[in-house]
Amino acid sequence: MGLLNRYEILDGQELFGQDVLNVYYYKQVLGSGGTAADLKAAYQGYMYPVLQAVQSVGLAHVAIAVRNLDDPTDFVIELVFPQVLGTVTGDSMPPFVAWAFRMNRTQLNVRNGWKRIGGVPEAGQNGGIPIAGYTPLLDDVAVTMGANLVSAGVTFEPRIMRKTVTPGPPKITTYTDFPMGTVQFTSISTQNTRKFGRGS
């Protein structure tokens, strides 16, 4: 636990009985003694409110898991109770419809990162285009995705992560992290793995 440790966050959500999963990566860049619990607190405090503002009340954040990729003893796995719901009333688009955000790379030896946020409200779009009132809300999500998270005097920086699996036995998974530039909302998109019956 400590400076330069890297972390994975799994934000588990549910919509119409379908799993909706978002994965984020962070690196501790300031402070000492940081833990997965510190990052979990920061993520929930910073990210949940801006996500809720663009998500239907039918979507619930139901579980969160944070693990330190550099220290297997440092992890948190929790059910979110009470569940955190989107705040937009009315009907929701299907689970595979998502707000798409691009995490821009700062160097050419890695691809851009992407996040697809489920729970798109029916009233938030017109013909697959966000209505004008949602532009500042989506900008808030993009800014927060690209911002450092701070908890207990420790700073965590968002990263683009490359995961490499070497076949075994034994199977070995390695992680290479890259700095992230700006984050931009790009469009209303789809994610096939969230179609009914497919899983997250």
pLDDT tops 90 at residue 197: no
- Cα angle at 15 between 11 and 16, to 5 degrees? 155
Whole-number pLDDT of residue 168: 80
Smallest CA-to-CA distance from 96 within 5, 177, 21 is with 21
- Model pLDDT for residues 70-84, shown as the tens digit of each residue: 999 999 999 999 999
Whole-number pLDDT of residue 199: 56
- Model pLDDT for residues 144-189, shown as the tens digit of each residue: 999 999 998 999 999 999 999 998 888 899 999 999 999 999 999 9
Q: What is the pTM of this model?
A: 0.95
- Model pLDDT for residues 87-99, shown as the tens digit of each residue: 999 999 999 999 9
Average pLDDT, rounded, for the chain? 95
* CA–CA gap between residue 142 and residue 132 (Å, rounded): 16
Which residue shows structure tokens 């009914």? Answer: 196
Mean pLDDT of 189-200: 75
Reported as a pLDDT band with limits 50, 70 and 90, residue 19 is: very high
Smallest CA-to-CA distance from 53 within 161, 151, 130 is with 130
Q: How many CA atoms lie within 13 A of 167 on its CB side?
A: 0
- Model pLDDT for residues 45-65, shown as the tens digit of each residue: 999 999 999 999 999 999 999
pLDDT tops 80 at residue 1: no
* Contact of 149 with 39, CB cutoff 8 Å: yes
Whole-number pLDDT of residue 2: 82
Whole-number pLDDT of residue 42: 97
Q: HEC profile for the chain?
A: CCCCCEEEEEEEEEECCEEEEEEEEEEEEECCCCCHHHHHHHHHHHHHHHHHCCCECCEEEEEEEEEECCCCCCEEEEEEEEEEECCECCCECCCCEEEEEEEEECCCCCCCEEEEECCCEHHHEECCEECHHHHHHHHHHHHHHCCCEEECCEEEEEEEEEEEEECCCCCEEEEEEEEEEEEEEEEEEECHHHCCCCCC
Reported as a pLDDT band with limits 50, 70 and 90, residue 68 is: very high
β-pair partners for 174: 164
